Structures are given as C-alpha cells and as structure tokens.
Amino acid sequence: MKIAIAQLNFTIGAFEENLEKIIRAIRRARQEKAALVVFSELAVCGYPPHDLLEYRYFIEQCEGSLQRIAAECHGIAAIVGGPAVNPNHRGKNLYNSAYFMANGEVQRVIHKTLLPTYDIFDEYRYFEQNTEFGLINYKGFNIAVTICEDLWYRQPLLTGYGKDRLYSVCPMDQLTGLCPDFVVNIAASPFSYLQGEIKAGILTENAARYKVPVYYVNQVGAHTELVFDGGSMVVNPDGIISRMKLFEEDFGIYDTDAVLAAKAGSVVLPRSSEISLIHDALVLGIRDYFGKSGLKSAIVGLSGGIDSAVTLVLAARSLGATRLRALLMPSQYSSDHSVNDAIALARNLGVRYDIIDIRDTYWQYGQALGKVFKDLPEDISEENIQARIRGNLLMAMSNKFGNIVLNTSNKSEAAVGYGTLYGDMCGGISVLGDVYKTEVYRLADFVNRDREIIPQNTIAKPPSAELRPNQKDSDSLPEYTILDKVLFNYIELKKSTEEIVRLGIDRNLVEKIIHMVNLSEYKRYQLPPVLRISTKAFGPGRKMPLVARYN
C-alpha cells in the first residue's frame, strides 16, 4: 500500500484556506495512486488554537470542514487532525482527535491519550484524555493511529527531575498488544534547536521497541511565537528511512513494503548546523507572523550594533527589502562608525533608511525635567530617556506608515533586564528574544559566510548601548561567554546556584546573575511575543511569579 504524507503550513482559523490545501493534497495523493494520505495534528483549524476552542462557532466550522474533507475521500482514505466533541457530560468538552475518512464519510475518530501540560503546551485545559484503544483496519492493514505526544511516553532530558516518564499510561503498550502493521503519528511539534535529535530518537526508539514502522507527519509554519519545522519522517525498526524538508511544505509517497524492507543507513539524511536551523526558524517565524496576520511591512531601529544588524538581515530575508525600513537615531553618544556601519548594512541589503538625530529632542527632555530633577547627577534615568525617545520615534513611524516595529533585544539582555521598558523593548514581535548574545554573533558569522553583508566592524567592536560616553556592555554585565553559560544552565537546564557554581564559575558572579534574572521578571511580562527557538523561551513557556522572593 502507498501512504502519502502531506506536510502543510496551516493558519489558525483560516478554514477555507486550510480546507483547500487539504483537498488539493488528497487529490494529488489519489492521482499518484496512494491509498492513504495523512495530515498533521488539528490540521483542519491549525495548531494551537488556544481559547478559540471554547467558542461553539469555531467547533462548528471545524465540523463543517471535516465533513467536506470526508466527502472528497473516494478512492482514497485520509487521516486528518481536528477537535471532536465529547458526548459525555462529564469531563472536558472536546477531544484532540484524528479523523479516519474513507468512502465519502468519517469512518472512525481516534482521540489523543497523552495531553501535554508543560512548557508551551496546555492541552488539558481544553481536551479530555482518551481511555479506549483500537486499530483501524484498511485494505488488509491494521493501523495504529497516534497523536503527537502519544509517542512521547518516554522522554528523558525534558522533565528536569531525573524521570523519563511523565505519564502513567503508555499508548504504544496498549496499541501494540493489538498487533498493528504500522503506526501513524500526526503531530504539531514545535521547533527547538536542542530537540531535533530528541524527536528522531523518540521515533526510532518506538519503531525499534515495538518492531513496527512509524509514519510521522508534523506541521510546518509559525503561529505567533511558535515555529513548526516540519521534518516529517518515515521510520522502520532499523532506523530512519526518510525525512521531509525542514521549514517548508512538502509531500511524499511511501510504499509500505519498501519501508519495511529498507535497511538503516540506506538513506543519508542531510545534517544542518545548529545555527543554520536557528536562522531558518527565525526567517520562517517573521514571514508567517506577517503573512498570517496580514501585516505588510516592518521597521527596525538600526543602531550599528550586532543585534539590530542581524534582525534587519533576517527581516530582509523573510519579507524582502521593499517591505522593510530602517531608522537610524544617533545621539551625542553615537560613534561615527556605528552610524556608518548601519548605513553600510542598509545599503548592502537594499533597505530604505532614514536618519533622525535625537540630540535636540533629548535636550528638550532635559530642559523639561530639569525643574524636578534639579541638581541631581545624571544616571540611568537620562540613559533610558534616550532609549524611550527612540522607541517613540519608531512607534510614530509605525503609526504613520503601518510599519510593524521589530524588537531587537536578545535573550541575554532580556534575561538580566538590560533593556528599557517602552524604549528598546518595544515592538510587535521579538526576533532575537530567544537567542543568547553569543548565538547572535554566530548568526552574524553565518550571514557573512559567503560575503560580507554585516560590516565586519559591527561584529568585531565591543558591544555597547552607546547611552553615555565610552559605554560598553561589559561595564554592567559579565562577559557574554560567561553570562550565557550561567543563563543557559539556570533557564534551560533549571539548575540551582550550587549546581552552577560546581561548573567552575565564581559563586558571587552566579548569585549576581541569578538575582538579576529574578529581579527582571516584571520587564519580561511586557516583552512582545518572542520567537521560540529553544526549549525554554521567555513567554508562555516560562511562567514565573511576578511578586515573589526566590533565588
């Protein structure tokens, strides 16, 4: 039997658009003699729909789309993800389900068993857990249909507690007792540069443990802060047989006999560097944030520093230079080379730029505040005024011309509060908010791997906010190589002060950094959505109390 995998980029709530994509893929699969075509988790409405699932009209639109898809399934079967109403008056209103369609109607509805409620996932908020297990019999094959997390019963490295099992029931133990010929897993598994190998390991471990092939289809595309990388796979007990494209829509047809007979290593999968994956994820994240929201253009405050430079490059690759604008806002503390570097970058990319000198505006603020500041010495207040003037100018350009401001703060700065609320922390989407400063430098080198796009001086010079004479980031922060090591261990790996000190880092420094992170939670509450590329991004995936005392 031939199985088609349709790896598609859906838009949450865009029912007609999603429906067209699904029906087009069904027709293609039928034309290419596939007997079954599979789509990703909640494909009919897009994942994750969040509280839209609480609206009756939304569920009715899902049901209507599913019926129209089923009507298309003549001469072919399809497995499509969508919500299903729970007929029991007890429990949650919905199931997260997979619809098996054939002969023009829905034949079976399989419900998701394991409902993740950690990091960015909150599925138990909406869905009831499945408790019944069965196979689908189609064309002489017994098919086990699972939904994303149902294969993730064992997931070492993710829990942080030394446990490798988050759940009390293992769906695959239940299903393999029924002797399936193969497993279909429909998923909406978001990208993390740390998790690619883990995903592959989960799939191969299941195929090997239960001695069945696994056909895994993953959603591709971005929804607000979440980026889905696709990378759908076909795996047999010997290993990975095929992997589909990353960060792109894709379509493939696989013969069950050929999959079962294939040997591990018969297909060499291309390996991408960690930094190239981050680059591609951010480009897709920006593109879909604008494309799916109907937003037309963006603006970046271009300082001549590395963060705004990398942001501008990523935006140009996502949107195109003609949909992008840069605004240079030098002050009396801006160096000539910073302005020249910013201009050179904008010209290299073909991006329109404007220059607004903020010295006079800053002087007027000083005059107005002088009456209440009196003879108090200048401090961070005056520095923040400059950042807020720039934020105001960017927002004025956004209002006047419809250019959405791209926030350029990196994860290191956001972690320790090295940024100004309503100033450089403003924006519609935070492009680098999940990218540590050391990774921003790697991104810059990656951008310049073939030719110089970002001026080398931007990369080589010591980082500085340029808000006071001769200012450097190192005046306020440890060297980024040390800072990022502490932050990664504290944020991603959830290690304590004692555990981080045992890595050979000075205790006073570790305590200072962790104190800065905890003290800055109020600022992160007001960050724009952060494109997620790690396992622990700021935003919905990291929920810390705003008012608390902890170390």
pLDDT at residue 84, as a whole number = 98
Q: Range of 193's domain?
A: 2-266
Q: 379 CB contacts (<8 Å, ≥6 apart)? A: none
Examine the domain organization and report whether 281 and 262 are in the same domain: no
Examine the domain organization and report whether 214 and 318 are in the same domain: no
Find the mean pLDDT for residues 204-228. Answer: 97
Find the mean pLDDT for residues 181-208. Answer: 92
What CATH number does residue 315 fall under? 3.40.50.620
Cis status, amide bond into 540, omega within 30 of 0: no
Q: Which of 417, 421, 387 is nearest to 526 (CA)?
A: 421
pLDDT at residue 269, as a whole number = 56
Residue position matching structure tokens 């639109």: 61
Last residue of a domain, one of 241, 266, 291: 266
How many whole angstroms from its chain centre is CA 364? Answer: 42
* Entry pTM: 0.94
Cis status, amide bond into 116, omega within 30 of 0: no
pLDDT at residue 161, as a whole number = 45
Examine the domain organization and report whether 46 and 84 are in the same domain: yes
Whether residue 463 lies inside any domain: the answer is yes
Q: 91 CB contacts (<8 Å, ≥6 apart)? A: 128
Whether residue 178 lies inside any domain: the answer is yes
Examine the domain organization and report whether 250 and 103 are in the same domain: yes
Distance separating alpha carbons of residues 528 and 297, to the nearest angstrom: 17
CB 175, CB 144: distance < 8 Å: yes
pLDDT at residue 468, as a whole number = 67
Whether the per-residue pLDDT at 156 is higher than 70: the answer is no
Last residue of a domain, one of 266, 292, 321: 266
Q: Which of 391, 323, 316, 387 is nearest to 346 (CA)?
A: 316
* Percent of the chain with pLDDT strictly greater than 70: 95
CB 485, CB 505: distance < 8 Å: yes
Examine the domain organization and report whether 319 and 461 are in the same domain: yes
Whether the per-residue pLDDT at 342 is higher than 90: the answer is yes
How does the average pLDDT of the chain come out, rounded? 93
The pLDDT-based confidence of 398 (bands split at 50, 70, 90) is very high
Find the mean pLDDT for residues 79-97. Answer: 96
Distance separating alpha carbons of residues 550 and 125, to the nearest angstrom: 28
Examine the domain organization and report whether 258 and 284 are in the same domain: no
DSSP 67-92: HHHHHH-SSSEEEEEEEEE--SSSS-
Whether the per-residue pLDDT at 551 is higher than 60: the answer is yes
Last residue of a domain, one of 244, 266, 288: 266
Residue position matching structure tokens 């960050």: 527
Whether residue 392 lies inside any domain: the answer is yes
Q: pLDDT, tens digit, for every residue of 232-280?
A: 999 999 999 999 999 999 999 999 999 999 886 655 555 678 999 999 9
CB 96, CB 42: distance < 8 Å: yes
Distance separating alpha carbons of residues 401 and 205, to the nearest angstrom: 52
Token readout for 20 is 């067209």
Distance separating alpha carbons of residues 428 and 224, to the nearest angstrom: 10
Q: Which residues are catalytic?
A: 41, 112, 148
Find the mean pLDDT for residues 474-479. Answer: 81
Examine the domain organization and report whether 304 and 257 are in the same domain: no
Find the mean pLDDT for residues 415-430. Answer: 95
Q: pLDDT, tens digit, for every residue of 44-78?
A: 999 999 999 999 999 999 999 999 999 999 999 99
Task: Return the biggest CA–CA distance within the chain.
Answer: 87
Dihedrals φ, ψ of 7, to 5°? -95, 105
Whether the per-residue pLDDT at 415 is higher than 80: the answer is yes
Whether residue 112 lies inside any domain: the answer is yes
Q: Which of 192, 275, 226 is nearest to 429 (CA)?
A: 226
Whether the per-residue pLDDT at 158 is higher than 90: the answer is no
Distance separating alpha carbons of residues 301 and 311, to the nearest angstrom: 10
Total domain count, the chain = 2
Whether residue 55 lies inside any domain: the answer is yes
Give the pairing type, strands 2-7 and 250-255.
Answer: antiparallel
First to last CA, the chain: 58
Whether residue 543 lies inside any domain: the answer is no
Whether the per-residue pLDDT at 196 is higher than 90: the answer is no
Distance separating alpha carbons of residues 350 and 196, to the nearest angstrom: 34
Examine the domain organization and report whether 180 and 204 are in the same domain: yes
Token readout for 277 is 């994956």
Whether residue 483 lies inside any domain: the answer is no
